[in-house]
Structure 1
């Protein structure tokens, strides 16, 4: 990579983080603001190329792994039929419909290239939809379907894309052979993912060093992706399987590993997502220059038709799949309701994987056709992000969808679990005291009383949250009072430590240690 390109990427990263910081401060969806900022900046800055290998081999694996770690294997398993219909069936349906529409619009475009475009723009990127949905309290099941779809649909789309490009370059491709190649790629991804998951899980049993474990986790998504792709299996599925397996076993790791891991992957995902969405908008000038041979109204019509076909296809499939699940499951938990189907249908924002695949179209494709495919991909990605993305919050509010009942049930379940855990902990404390064989002395009694008080306080806090954190008549609960006063005390203690450091009466290393202790206590208070 040249120094100039490195400087460009550094400036893009810095600008993207600044825009994302503004979005977070204002409560706006950061992906949409980043795309808009990229579009506005594109004519004013030198072209920043979107390298397909950079996206597929550097950005995609950690983003997939982070999403998989944060997902629930049990919820995905419960919704496996709906997720399969979205991540496999919908992708193939979209590729076919959009391919035929493009072939009708551009009869001179070979049919395999038309299907390749359909495969390119078929997989939605749920980052923007999930970010908005979580902020506005979208029900957990809807979020599970969106996340599950985004975890697996890239594998289907990239496989279909390779088949279509192969048909263009090498002539005819048998349907049975294509299906077999897809099944083998998926099965290979699952096998490699499970194998690596077991290997890494075993490695984690050999160390209890949180720094070493979390450094190792940074290598896992790249190792899984490269291992699978090197044998023509699905790297996407391999990464997702490893992430789901290790994420479901995170409770077996040490508390330090869990605390650091959460911070590491939040920062990693935030950093990569900001750059990715900014790069999408910055491709405006590059894409437009390639279609200079077409009339503006002509290409605008093509773009509008492909965008409309993409959006309508998703609605048709979602409602058809919902009806099918209701028939098969007789209205069981697998079948989305009408409101959920509307939200799923409108949550079809495309992302950087589509653009990366378009930029990766081989040079054997004539430049004119390649430029048109890239333009239609870009306009579909931008159109779905700006049209569906900006209206998605209003749609959630309009439908009156809320996860308030789920949040109440979660708080109730947590309070009951805290009560059961409290009783188990106190029983273990009583057993350990009884094993001493003699009455505890005064100091031991104080320690035991402190342990009992801390356990009861944690359980009491869980029950208090059922009432919204307020006491009778809106008064401050004991737990809230304790947290407020203790936070003030911690701040006063920090000031003393810093003052002693400034007076050269305390070393910086000691300061960092005591500040870490206070920070952990405040993190517990925040929880």
Structure 2
């Protein structure tokens, strides 16, 4: 199998995992991707054709993932908790390396101590994607989320740097603590400084490009995507840590990019979407590779005679216990120090004497049931994942110090895979028992609350985009969004399911247009243009779409096309003036809307119809009718006036869809609510294009 085919299969697997994740609840996305990888492995797919250079693997997977993670980190919260985060990201990683290294070497002396330290360094980083997905299913406090997200960002860098030093000692066979410490400090602080300098230079370049009037979104987004690769490769070439340079560049991104304006806002929306897809694909590829690697690693080690199968699983469980145990003890210490600091501050603020403060501090216990439970939960909330496996894949195939194949490479990868799987399973199934979602079903916002939140966010985004040229148009559109919020609050929005009445209104409109075509009161081109719009509107409202519905759509479309072609061929004025055709469209639209209003009035007193649905829809149709008549008086003039407002409305709809997707991905709304909200926006988009 060629590498190209292999990569295509991996991409398809990630795509399938995305679809399954939308349907299956209660299982983290990484576990789904690992499962797909296992199935591919049993189908005969292997990683034998995926042997890339270790440096390339770091650049390809780790650099962009860390850069994206650093960009989206809450810098203020990270700085406020810098001491705790640094202790987790540096101190905990070092302790984990030492504990795993010495324990593994003691249990399996055939593994060099440097190789055991390398495994410990690879198991230091936590998986940011898994941590983010866990927050949707458990009740994490803000303080806890900040600690976990900050740890997952910085410990990636410390783990990678430590791994690189361990591999250097392994391949050369020599190690000097003094020289290693000096090299570590140069690499560490040099990488941070170099990343800041490169970020400033890139920001300067972007500002100069904008000064030249180049506001092309594609250019700026592509530059952002290429930034982590350029920063990593340049830093490594200079001799400092490329990983830390990438993290520093990502953290300083928001400080060096403070420009505002409509084009900047549009670019940020596109950039956010691109990075979300890119990070999901890269993480997905690594987890699918993990799933493919697991069966082959297990079978290879299963047939290994030098070590028994029971010992293999024993080592995996021991290393997993060390990882979780060390993390638990570390969080117990953080909790103890934090409780002492709070008590000390409270005593001092209340005017307590130094002796009273010391007495209170001595009364604080090292471990309490609540602190132990929270510490264990936070320990489980830091599973290993993409970064760990990416690092392990960079293990050398041979050693300079001992010529020949590095025989323990597959063994170490197997241990890493086993620990990743154990920690992911515990995080997915054991953590919710320790930190259950206190909101339960209330975690989902109601349709009303979600709609209002999306509309408010859209108003804020439009306000940030307005300029002197589009201020009047933007304010007009913002007023329309405020009206929509008021209608929803008053209960006249689309909160109840009035789709049956809307479908019936579209049937009335279609009935009028068909009669106008048959009676030759309008040209076939105009008539069938209206019918296509009505059919699209009906498709958006209809939700029960089975095979019969699909065949019905095909049959109706074929009938419409056939009649349209027949009428058009018989019409001698097909190439008439576009202005006249537009006038005719407006006239037909106004007449059909008047026909709909007439039918709605007749059903106000009908007990078979809900009065609030009829009156609400009548208000909307009458509003559309007034707009159509106003535009029909002077199409040319009004089109020029409405042009900017129409552009702002289009942008507003895109912003709405973006916020709906963000709410769905963050677990604020369920799939049904998101689908319903998207359909409403699509309907308004369709109506807008018809009115332009």
- TM-score (normalizing by structure 2): 0.60
Structure-2 separation of matches of 1:134 and 1:12: 26
Select 1:495's aligned residue among 509, 515, 533: 533
- Higher relative contact order (Cα pairs below 8 Å, separated by 6+ residues): 1
The equivalent residue for 2:124 is: 122
The equivalent residue for 2:524 is: none
The equivalent residue for 2:365 is: none
Call closer, same or farther: CA 1:69–1:127 in 2, change over 3 Å. Answer: same
Aligned residue-pair number: 473
Structure-2 separation of matches of 1:241 and 1:341: 29
User: 2:449 matched to 1:318?
Assistant: no
The equivalent residue for 1:285 is: 295
Question: For 1:166-197, what per-residue CA distance to the aligned partner results, in whole angstroms no more than 9, with x for missing partners?
Answer: 33344453333333322221211111111111
- Whether contact under 8 Å (1:99, 1:118) holds in the other structure is yes
Select 1:268's aligned residue among 275, 278, 281: 278
The equivalent residue for 1:157 is: 159
Secondary structure of 1:57 counterpart: helix
Secondary structure of 2:69 counterpart: helix
Select 2:383's aligned residue among 349, 359, 371: 349
Segments of structure 1 that go 5 or more residues without pairing to the other structure are 433-446, 507-512
Structure-2 separation of matches of 1:38 and 1:214: 31
The equivalent residue for 1:37 is: 36
> Cα offset for 1:523?
3.1
Question: Any residues of structure 2 matched to 1:70-149 within 5 Å, and which?
Answer: 70-134=72-136, 136=138, 138-149=140-151
Structure-1 separation of matches of 2:187 and 2:236: 9
Question: For 1:425-445, what per-residue CA distance to the aligned partner results, in whole angstroms no more than 9, with x for missing partners?
Answer: 8xx99xx9xxxxxxxxxxxxx
User: 2:222 matched to 1:209?
Assistant: no
Question: Any residues of structure 2 matched to 1:360-399 within 5 Å, and which?
Answer: 360-362=394-396, 363-364=398-399, 367-397=406-436
- Whether contact under 8 Å (1:325, 1:331) holds in the other structure is no
Call closer, same or farther: CA 1:157–1:331 in 2, change over 3 Å. Answer: farther
The equivalent residue for 1:509 is: none
Structure-1 separation of matches of 2:89 and 2:531: 53
Secondary structure of 1:138 counterpart: coil
> Cα offset for 1:387?
2.7
User: 2:201 matched to 1:199?
Assistant: yes
Structure-2 separation of matches of 1:173 and 1:121: 21
Question: For 1:24-76, what per-residue CA distance to the aligned partner results, in whole angstroms no more than 9, with x for missing partners?
Answer: 23344211111122123322222124644443111112111222222221121
Structure-1 separation of matches of 2:312 and 2:259: 55
Call closer, same or farther: CA 1:109–1:61 in 2, change over 3 Å. Answer: closer
Secondary structure of 1:194 counterpart: helix
The equivalent residue for 2:11 is: 13
- Whether contact under 8 Å (1:73, 1:248) holds in the other structure is no
Question: For 1:446-477, what per-residue CA distance to the aligned partner results, in whole angstroms no more than 9, with x for missing partners?
Answer: x97x8767556667888x8xxxx974xxx626
Structure-1 separation of matches of 2:415 and 2:282: 25
User: 2:657 matched to 1:521?
Assistant: no
Question: For 1:187-218, what per-residue CA distance to the aligned partner results, in whole angstroms no more than 9, with x for missing partners?
Answer: 11111111111112112212222221111111
User: 2:71 matched to 1:69?
Assistant: yes
Structure-2 separation of matches of 1:150 and 1:478: 43
Structure-2 separation of matches of 1:298 and 1:452: 70
The equivalent residue for 2:184 is: 182
> Cα offset for 1:4?
0.5
Select 2:314's aligned residue among 301, 309, 329: 301
Call closer, same or farther: CA 1:210–1:320 in 2, change over 3 Å. Answer: same
User: 2:241 matched to 1:234?
Assistant: yes
> Cα offset for 1:522?
1.9
> Cα offset for 1:137?
5.7
Secondary structure of 2:252 counterpart: helix
- Whether contact under 8 Å (1:47, 1:282) holds in the other structure is yes
Secondary structure of 2:652 counterpart: helix
RMSD after superposition: 4.2
Call closer, same or farther: CA 1:288–1:328 in 2, change over 3 Å. Answer: same
- Whether contact under 8 Å (1:32, 1:128) holds in the other structure is no
> Cα offset for 1:226?
1.0
- Whether contact under 8 Å (1:69, 1:243) holds in the other structure is yes
Structure-2 separation of matches of 1:114 and 1:176: 21
- TM-score (normalizing by structure 1): 0.77
Larger Rg: 2
Select 1:219's aligned residue among 201, 226, 237: 226
Structure-1 separation of matches of 2:395 and 2:133: 30
The equivalent residue for 2:253 is: 246
Call closer, same or farther: CA 1:175–1:480 in 2, change over 3 Å. Answer: farther
Structure-2 separation of matches of 1:31 and 1:493: 46
Question: For 1:83-118, what per-residue CA distance to the aligned partner results, in whole angstroms no more than 9, with x for missing partners?
Answer: 111111111111011112112211333322222221
Question: For 1:104-150, what per-residue CA distance to the aligned partner results, in whole angstroms no more than 9, with x for missing partners?
Answer: 21133332222222112222212112112135563333222222212
Segments of structure 2 that go 5 or more residues without pairing to the other structure are 347-369, 507-529, 537-556, 566-573, 579-643, 660-692
